[in-house]
Amino acid sequence: MDMQSTVIVGMSGVSAADVVAVAREGARVELSAEALTAVGAARQFIDDLAAKPDPVYGVSTGFGALAVRHISPELRAQLQRNIVRSHAAGMGPRVEREVVRALMFLRLKTVASGHTGVRPQVVQTMADVLNAGITPVVHEYGSLGCSGDLAPLSHCALTLMGEGDAEGPDGAVRPAGELLAEHGIAPVELREKEGLALLNGTDGMLGMLVMACADLARIFTCADITAALSLEALLGTEKVLAPELHTIRPHPGQAVSAANMLKVLAGSGLTGHHQDDAPRVQDAYSVRCAPQVAGAGRDTLAHARLVADRELAAAVDNPVVLADGRVESNGNFHGAPVAYVLDFLAIAAADLASIAERRTDRLLDKNRSHGLPPFLAGDAGVDSGLMIAQYTQAALVSELKRLAVPASVDSIPSSAMQEDHVSMGWSAARKLRTAVDNVTRVVAVELYAAARAVELRGEDGLTPSPAARAILAAAREAGVGGAGADRFLAPDLAAADAFVRGGGLVAAAESVTGPLA
């Protein structure tokens, strides 16, 4: 784990880049002096309220539908322990390490804001656990995305208490208490409000949104590149990418995608042949409208990032400690703003995959590919070429369409009808992660097919663009096989997936085009 970089957590929130650095790159976390001062001041308000006879939610009452019970001072530490233990009720497979680290970091961000009322030592312990590389075991199911990601965050809070299981920096799962002791971290003894403050936030769904946005930004660039390669391979026209055509429909993402495609196609000897042997007035929609579809996805991504940035600057808890010392109940824990954009991104990912698959199918169909061999096979009939690669791609697209069904329109009442409308944002985030993986695979299959088709055009004496030639060379170097007789195809497709996922495709294109958006 790379522990060289450091992220400072202050009162004003954190950035998306900070989340990615901590979650994926193992960046260290440090708390600003300003944040610790604000945390201490907010805690004093909680201590003052705890000393009074008036009931305050989360301080001297039960939780949810049980908030009607006043809790006496001698039971309040037990109350805070009990909420963590009882709410750590997740089931199913373990959630990925990067998601849990993002969840922990974002909860740390909120408790460091000075609006939750925890003690400074609790905040410091959260940072210490992250920096030690200790990752609580969190399960797939348990969050309704309202009152926060309760079960996932409770499993994290359980680790702070030295209970439950966690993964150490070596990847082994062991009792959390042992891991804390090995790293010299004292378990937290929770006091008033602290158990509630550790588990009442939208941090899991937000962490997954931030990482999905980072991944999709790369995928949209990759899709522009593969669309350009497909256009070349189909001897299409690049005239539809002219900037003036996109200026008159001023969607920003559309112009960016068209510009990317033009850069990749610069200097191509394959484009502009649509009037040759089988004259075409226009290319098919999947080719001609590539910037419009990818561009709409880019604009959706821009909106999702705006929502994420607002959440990253937020302090999501209930009740919250305000600057004037008031402790007020609120509904800011509701995950609707995050859930909506998570679902929206799943729709955009599904449609990006859908149009990419249509281009692949066109490359393989001898009746629509303008002279390419059936299925791009070496000896069609003896060889099946990429026939089943397209089946795999189609299966992925079909799955993406199912994943595009919104989770946020569902709601199951809970807590004896006190929590009678929930966001299902965690579920939206979980399915988006699968969607991001699958759309990457779909783009990888288009790359594989388009690269083979461009290579075959080269054998006919037509010269691909310099960027296309650089991509082909880098892909071959990365183990992505070229044209020829049938062979075991799965390793080639896996290599194409790794080439796209790991940044090799964008790097190869940019070695010629310069930076792509």
Q: What are the two backbone dihedrals, phi and then psi, of residue 31, each rounded to the nearest 5 degrees?
A: -95, 135
In a domain, 1, yes or no: no
Comparing C-alpha atoms, which of 472, 478, 435, 32 is closest to residue 225?
A: 472
Q: What are the two backbone dihedrals, phi and then psi, of residue 406, each rounded to the nearest 5 degrees?
A: -65, 140
- Structure confidence by residue, pLDDT tens digits, 243-261: 999 999 999 999 999 999 9
Crossing angle (nearest 10°) for helices 252-265 and 466-477: 80
- Based on the domain organization, do 157 and 219 belong to the same domain? no
End-to-end CA distance of the chain, in Å? 29
- Based on the domain organization, do 498 and 384 belong to the same domain? yes
Whole-number pLDDT of residue 454:
97
What are the C-alpha distances in Å from 108 to residues 13, 22, 124? 10, 12, 9
In a domain, 35, yes or no: yes
Q: Where are the alpha helices (DSSP H) in 142-202?
A: 150-160, 176-182, 194-199
Q: Pick the last residue of a domain from 201, 228, 260.
A: 201
User: Which residues neighbour 342 within 8 Å (Cβ) at sequence distance 6 or greater?
Assistant: 205, 208, 209, 212, 304, 407, 408, 425, 428, 429, 432
- Based on the domain organization, do 158 and 218 belong to the same domain? no
Q: Pick the last residue of a domain from 170, 201, 232.
A: 201
Regions of the chain where pLDDT drops below 50? 1-3
Whole-number pLDDT of residue 274:
67
- Based on the domain organization, do 80 and 177 belong to the same domain? yes
Whole-number pLDDT of residue 50:
87
In a domain, 471, yes or no: yes
In a domain, 458, yes or no: yes
Beta strands at 6-9 and 28-31: parallel, antiparallel or unpaired? parallel
- Based on the domain organization, do 47 and 143 belong to the same domain? yes
Q: Pick the last residue of a domain from 180, 201, 222.
A: 201
Crossing angle (nearest 10°) for helices 150-160 and 120-131: 90
- Based on the domain organization, do 170 and 42 belong to the same domain? yes
- Based on the domain organization, do 52 and 181 belong to the same domain? yes
Comparing C-alpha atoms, which of 117, 99, 104, 111 is closest to residue 47?
A: 117
In a domain, 334, yes or no: no
- Expressed as residue numbers, the domain containing 121 is 6-201
User: Which residues neighbour 163 within 8 Å (Cβ) at sequence distance 6 or greater?
Assistant: 85, 176, 177, 187
In a domain, 330, yes or no: no
- Based on the domain organization, do 120 and 232 belong to the same domain? no
- Based on the domain organization, do 213 and 195 belong to the same domain? no
Whole-number pLDDT of residue 58:
75
**By three-state DSSP, how is residue 484 classified?**
coil
- Based on the domain organization, do 286 and 403 belong to the same domain? yes
Comparing C-alpha atoms, which of 397, 404, 403 is closest to residue 361?
A: 397
In a domain, 413, yes or no: no
- Based on the domain organization, do 75 and 179 belong to the same domain? yes
What are the C-alpha distances in Å from 353 to residues 297, 359, 505? 11, 10, 17
The count of structural domains within the chain is 2
In a domain, 327, yes or no: no
Q: pTM value?
A: 0.95
Q: What are the two backbone dihedrals, phi and then psi, of residue 386, each rounded to the nearest 5 degrees?
A: -100, 20
User: Which residues neighbour 324 within 8 Å (Cβ) at sequence distance 6 or greater?
Assistant: none
Bridge partners of 6?
28
Whole-number pLDDT of residue 11:
84
CA–CA distance, 485 with 384 (Å, rounded to integer): 9
Beta strands at 327-328 and 28-31: parallel, antiparallel or unpaired? unpaired
The domain spanning residue 453 has which CATH number?
Answer: 1.20.200.10
Active site includes 57?
Answer: yes
- Based on the domain organization, do 142 and 214 belong to the same domain? no
The domain spanning residue 136 has which CATH number?
Answer: 1.10.275.10
